[in-house]
Amino acid sequence: MATPEQKSPNVLLQNLCCRILGKGEADVAQQFQYAVRVIGSNFAPTVERDEFLVAEKIKKEFVRQRREADGALFSELHRKLQSQGVVKNRWAILYLLLSLSEDPRKQPSKVSNYAALFAQALPRDAHSTPYYYARPQTLQLNYQDRNVQSVQNSAALGSSGIGSIGMYSLNGPTPPPQTFVPGQSFQTPAVGDSLRQQLGTRLAWTLAAGQQPALQNITNKCHPNTVSRNVPRTRREGETSGSVEITESSLVRDILYVFQGIDGKCIKMCNSENCYKVDSKVALSKSLKDTTGRLAELGWLHNKIRKYTDQRSLDRAFGLVGQSFCAALHQELKEYYRLLSVLHSQLQVEDDQGVNLGLESSLTLRRLLVWTYDPKIRLKTLAALVDHCQGRKGGELASAVHAYSKTGDPYMRSLVQHILGLVSHPIVNFLYRWIYDGELEDTYHEFFVASDPTVKTDRLWHDKYTLRKSMIPSFITMDQSRKVLLIGKSINFLHQVCHDQTPTAKMMAVAKTAESPKDAADLFTDLENAFQTKIDAAYFETSKYLLDVLNKNYNLLEHLQAMRRYLLLGQGDFIRHLMDLLKPELVRPATTLYQHNLTGILETAVRATNAQFDNPEILKRLDVRLLEVSPGDTGWDVFSLDYHVDGPIATVFTRECMSHYLRVFNFLWRAKRMEYILTDIWKGHMCNAKLLKSMPELSGVLHQCHVLASEMVHFIHQMQYYITFEVLECSWDELWNKVQQAQDLDHIIAAHEVFLDTIICRCLLDSDSRALLNQLRAVFDQIIEFQNAQDAMYRAALEELQRRLQFEERKKERETEGKWGVTEAEEEEENKRVLEFQESIPKMRSQLRILTHFYQGIVQQFLVLLTTSTDESLRFLSFRLDFNEHYKAREPRLRMSLGTRGRRSLHA
Amino acid sequence: MASAPVSVSAMRETMDVLLEISRLLNTGLDMETLSICVRLCEQGINPEALSSVIKELRRATEAMKASENMTN
């Protein structure tokens, strides 16, 4: 029999038909045709081709039938079969055997009525079997048509498992009396069981769950249950027949329409109450009415979802995220429609057969209630989603959907997760376009990065791209979205501002992968944080590349140092030389200054000092700038150095930054000038001290001058120390560290801004320390005034000295000529002049005294302000300025706030 | 693996094993029907379809017998 020769399947099939029917080839033509059609149209199996799985199922089946010994025997046989290796398609054979298996404990009950009917209907069924092994469909729906099929096959496999209970109850050797259950067909239970097993779908499970307890009940009280099973059935029959207007089957028909949102004959949409209601004229029992009401909810839910998708799918401005949400809803609705169509076809089959097969096989409201239980939960979830998503779009919509995925119900969660996957797919697409290509294709403003097309490239980094807070999906953290923004911004910055056309693939080693919608949802919700690492990697690479480009091609750090050296007077020799050169120019009124002269001087200063070794790129940008001239200004007031910034580095050195730099420069320049003036004063002291020794009447004045000058020198030195070491160097060090560690351009910009702010604040240039600055300015003014006064005094003194020397010389000359050295008139004139000069000395002294007084007053005021300042370094400055407590002795207010307690008690 | 001609004894042994399984599962297939089924399966016929065909055929047999009985 197991001949190796290969016969064609058709021949084999014919053999099979003959064999089973026990007839000759001619008589089985009809059945053979049918068999060929069924086999031919279902070539691919709808179940997993897994031998192990099938074997496991068979074992389970044995266990279920309490035939563990047979199960062991089967395992043995199966192993043997495997070891022999003659059969290739072992799973198929095992599967076939399993499908055909029957529980030996039961009498195989062959039923005549239905089978006869089937035999008649067979030819037609072969042409139009709507339920017969349809083509493999998506898994989610399989259960629905499978179900119907199972209902068809085992007509008694009812919604509550009653049918199969019936089968189990028929353990007895006697077949049930035909009359007992009229019109009911008893299919072999194995069909139902094996079907249920092979399907493994949800509804099958619900059936199984329903069966299990009932089964236990029934096996205990074996026979009576047949009666109990029939009792409610007959009672209901009585009920339905009692109502004249309507039967249950017509209600079922109506309900099927209502499921699609179409009003039925007697179930209509009630607008006032916003629900489906059974026509009030129709008399219905309360239970039927109740069931109908519960079923009709499905229609209402369907309408709600349908309305939303219909409204939105036409709305173009709704955006891609919204469209995919609608698509997801449609997909769900489609599955729902599939269920409906299956139900309809079931109804159709019943009509076509035109015979009342008995209540067990037909659709009933109760059966529908069970079958639509899962779809109802689905629709409910969808309707809730629709409600929640009303009026939202883009990322907001995704957030709304995401909020619903946080449920403990795994079934609902998987549904929402699926929708979320679809909804977030466009967002993921946006995201990848943005972080890998820097492109923003967001026509409907759904993505959480917004671009302002009016912003020019010079402000690209600062203003062009912003976060749309409302559109950030809730599954993306603020930190992540900020990084996402930064990544795309960096890419755009590189392309548009730095004109760096390196393809992003080269920038990033991160391989970008095409993501399907399933991955999208996983990506956002997984615990492994793949998304986070992806973003981090892209962020890290892009930022690093950007900083590299800025540092290498645009010398960002060198420019930063240049700012420090030139605008913050870090390059001492250059500044000193520049001041030397500029001094004659700058003492002139500001209106007579010309920029080109000053530029020339600047170049001279650069060439003469170490600045010449600097990068020409930097020196090129160094320039002179004259501030706005107000009447009475000298060159000193309007002169300023300038540094031209453009291109990418202008992103760090913005206009505001440069104006800050200018203010700081002016302050430092002024302070520097004071130092310069005091050096001049000191030089004057040194030079003139010997000359004026011959004029003893001046010694008092000179002493006064020296005292005041050294007071000023002390003050300015301490100020310079403070500015240089406590302000500039400290902040600079901080900035430099931060810049070295910076991960992205924003860090550098922020560090730089902090640096500038600190300097502005510590240099008393901010609005809070205006009073201090005014005092300081006054001190500076006093120094200038002192310089002028001293210059005038020296001039007068030197002139007097000159005259006296001339007088003496003339005297000597005449004496050598043998004449009288002086005439009386001459002597008188000389004495008069000397007297005049000596009389001018008290005036000088008083002028100096006034100057000293003012100066000290201002300094004391300054110190008082310093001690009350909140800044610690300023308080230390005041301590240093008044180290020997010279001012404290004069100013009572200083005594209170400065110094230790011991000192205070000393003064008291 | 069984593409080479297999010895008749091995074939028979396999068929015996399958028949035993079939008996255990109470499929009601005799040796010949089973061998036809095995051959069909080996040719890649979908077992789902095949099982349904067999069931239908059985049902048809029952129906025919019943009608015969009735006519008799």
Percent of chain A that is helix, strand, coil (3-state, to 5): 75, 5, 25
User: In this predicted structure, what is the pLDDT of residue A44?
Assistant: 66
Residue A539 structure tokens: 């962020």
Summarize the confidence of residues A665-676 as an average pLDDT: 92
Contact A156, A167 (CB under 8 A): yes
Q: Which long-range contacts (CB under 8 A, 24 or more apart) does A500-506 make?
A: A500/A549, A500/A553, A502/A545, A504/A436, A504/A437, A504/A438, A504/A542, A505/A436
| Beta bridge partner(s), residue A278 | A267
Nearest by Cα to A624 from A612, A611, A606: A606
By DSSP bridging, strand A639-643 and strand A449-451 are unpaired
CA–CA separation, A341 vs A349, rounded Å?
A: 12
Angle between helices B8-25 and A90-100 (to 10 degrees): 30
- Tell me which residue of A379, A160, A168, A365 sits closest to A256, measured CA to CA: A365
Q: What is the three-state SS of A460-484?
A: HHHHHEEECHHHCCCCCCHHHHHHH
**Lowest-confidence region among A267-271, A611-615, A701-705:** A267-271
Element (H, E) at A641: strand A639-643
Question: A340-354, A456-470, A556-570 — which is least confidently predicted?
Answer: A340-354
Question: Closest Cα to residue A55, out of A197, A187, A160, A170?
Answer: A197
Q: Could you report the per-residue pLDDT of A617-658, keeping only the tens digit for each?
A: 888 899 998 888 888 888 888 899 999 988 888 888 988 899
Minimal CA–CA distance to A877: which of A858, A895, A898? A898
The Cα A402–Cα A392 span in angstroms is 13
For residue A467, list its beta bridge partners.
A449
Cα(A853)–Cα(A856) distance, rounded to whole angstroms? 5
Average pLDDT of chain A?
Answer: 76
Q: Please give the Cα distance from A644 to B24 (Å, whole number).
A: 95
Structure tokens at A404: 């619903």
Kindly list the residues from chain B whose CB atom is less than 8 angstroms away from the CB atom of residue A108. Answer: 28
Residue A116 pLDDT > 70: no
Torsion A861-A865-A867-A871 (CA) sign: negative
Spell out a b/e string for A297-310, using b for 16 or more CB atoms within 10 Å of the CB, else e: bbbbbbbbbbebbe
Interface probe with B: pick from A41, A46, A65, A96, most Cβ of B within 10 Å: A96
| Segment 607-666 of chain A within 8 Å of chain B by CB | none
Distance from CA of A524 to the nearest CA of B (A): 40
Q: How many residues does chain B have?
A: 72
Minimum-distance CB partner of A100 among B13, B27, B45: B27
Residue A731 confidence (pLDDT) above 50: yes
Residues 6+ apart with CB under 8 A from A293: A275, A276, A277, A278
Please report the pLDDT score of residue A524 as a whole number: 60
Structure tokens at A199: 């399907």
Instruction: Calculate the alpha carbon distances from A341 to A46, A276, A334, A524 in Å.
Output: 20, 21, 10, 36
Determine the Cα–Cα distance for residues B2 and A86; give it in Å rounded to an integer. 5
pLDDT at A119: 38
Q: Which residue in the block uniquely carries the two structure tokens 């795309």? A: A488
In A534-564, which positions are buried (b, 16+ CB within 10 angstroms) versus exposed (e)? bbeebbbbbbebbbebbeeebbbeebbbbbb
Give the distance from CA A514 to its chain's centroid.
20
Chain B closest-CA separation from residue A64 CA (Å):
12
Angle, nearest 10°, between helix axes A530-554 and A517-525? 90
Calpha distance A567→A561 (Å, rounded):
10
Instruction: Give the alpha-carbon dihedral of A665, A667, A670, A671, to 10 degrees.
Output: -110
Largest CA distance in chain A: 179
Give tens-digit pLDDT for A222-251. Answer: 343 333 333 333 334 434 444 445 677 778
pLDDT (tens digit per residue) in A440-461: 888 888 888 888 888 888 888 8
Using pLDDT thresholds of 50, 70 and 90, give the confidence band for residue A109: very low
Cβ contact B15–A81 (<8 Å): no
User: Is residue A34 within 8 angstroms of chain B, CB to CB?
Assistant: yes
In chain A, count H helices and then E strands: 37, 6
Q: Which of A275, A263, A388 is nearest to A325 (CA)?
A: A388
What mean pLDDT comes out for the span A419-432? Answer: 85
Across the interface, whether the CB atoms of B48 and A88 are under 8 A apart is answered: no
Q: What pLDDT is recorded for position A735?
A: 95
Q: How far apart are CA A559 and CA A621, in angstroms?
A: 10
- Name every chain B residue with its beta carbon within 8 A of the beta carbon of A20: 33, 54, 57-58, 61
| Sign of the alpha-carbon dihedral angle for A5, A9, A13, A14 | negative
Q: Tokens 């199969």 — which residue?
A: A164
- A202-220 helix and A189-199 helix, angle to the nearest 10 degrees: 140
Check if A93 contacts B (Cβ < 8 Å): yes
What digits encode the pLDDT tens for the residues A190-224? 444 444 344 333 343 333 333 444 334 433 433 43
> Largest Cα–Cα distance of chain B, in whole Å?
53
Contact state of A45 with B14 under an 8 Å Cβ cutoff: no
* Contacts A110 to B, Cβ<8 Å: 62
CA A778 to the chain's CA centroid: 53
- What CA–CA distance (Å, rounded) separates A87 from A51? 12
Confidence (pLDDT) at A356: 52
Sign of the dihedral defined by the CA atoms of residues A490, A496, A497, A502, in that order = positive
**C-alpha–C-alpha distance, residues A128 and A643, integer Å:** 88
Q: Is A84 in Cβ contact with B17 (below 8 Å)?
A: yes
pLDDT higher for A100 or A602?
A: A602
For A343-381, the pLDDT digits (tens) are 888 888 777 765 555 545 577 888 888 888 888 888 998
The nearest alpha carbon in chain A to B51 belongs to A96
DSSP A408-447: S-HHHHHHHHHHHHHHHHHHHHHHHIIIII-----TTS-S
Query: Tell me, what's the pLDDT at A854?
Result: 92
Q: Which residues, in sequence order, are bridge partners of residue A268?
A: A277
Q: How many residues does chain A have?
A: 908
Neighboring chain A residues of B20 at a CB cutoff of 8 Å? 73, 77
Cβ–Cβ contact B68 with A under 8 A: no
- In the DSSP assignment, the letter for residue A245 is S
CA distance B52 to A655: 83
Given this model, what pLDDT does residue A143 score? 36
pLDDT band at A886 (very low <50, low <70, confident <90, very high): confident
Q: Which residues contact A236 (CB under 8 A, 6 or more apart)?
A: A248
State which of A167-171, A263-267, A897-901 shows the largest mean pLDDT: A263-267
Residue A154 has pLDDT above 50, yes or no: no
pLDDT class of A149 with cuts at 50, 70, 90: very low
How crowded is residue A72: how many other Cβ atoms within 10 Å of its Cβ? 12
Instruction: Name the DSSP letter for residue A589.
Output: B
Q: What is the mean pLDDT of residues B13-31?
A: 85
Q: How far apart are CA A848 and CA A797, in angstroms?
A: 15
Q: Which of A283-292, A373-382, A653-662, A667-676 has the lowest mean pLDDT?
A: A283-292
Beta bridge mates, A450: A466
Is residue A115 packed enough to be buried (19+ CB in 10 Å), middle (13-18) or exposed (0-12)? buried
The reply to whether A108 touches chain B by the CB within 8 Å rule is yes
Residue A790 CA to residue A500 CA, distance in Å, equals 61
